[in-house]
Amino acid sequence: MRVTGVRMDERHVLRMLELGIRVGGLVRVTQRSNFGGRVIAIGTGRIAIDAATAQSITVRAAEPNTHGEQS
């Protein structure tokens, strides 16, 4: 999936960037965990994010024929 937006304040958007989550970047969910948390893969790295953070990141399918935003 490709990140289309990070709806957070500037400080946290920058922290997400530092962790590798940036608009235009590719991510995929490798694990759904308790309380709505997610583990996402960015290349070979793995980042754990809580439900609220996951909801603030919008993505769209990276495949050429699939569109539509989801969070």
Residues in contact with other proteins by the rule CB under 8 A: 8, 11-12, 14-22, 26, 28, 30-35, 37, 39, 41-53, 56
d(CA 49, CA 71): 13
First to last CA, the chain: 11
Q: Which is nearer to other proteins, 45 or 68 (CB)?
A: 45
Question: Nearest approach, Cβ of 25 to other proteins (angstroms)?
Answer: 9
Question: Nearest approach, Cβ of 39 to other proteins (angstroms)?
Answer: 6
d(CA 21, CA 51): 15
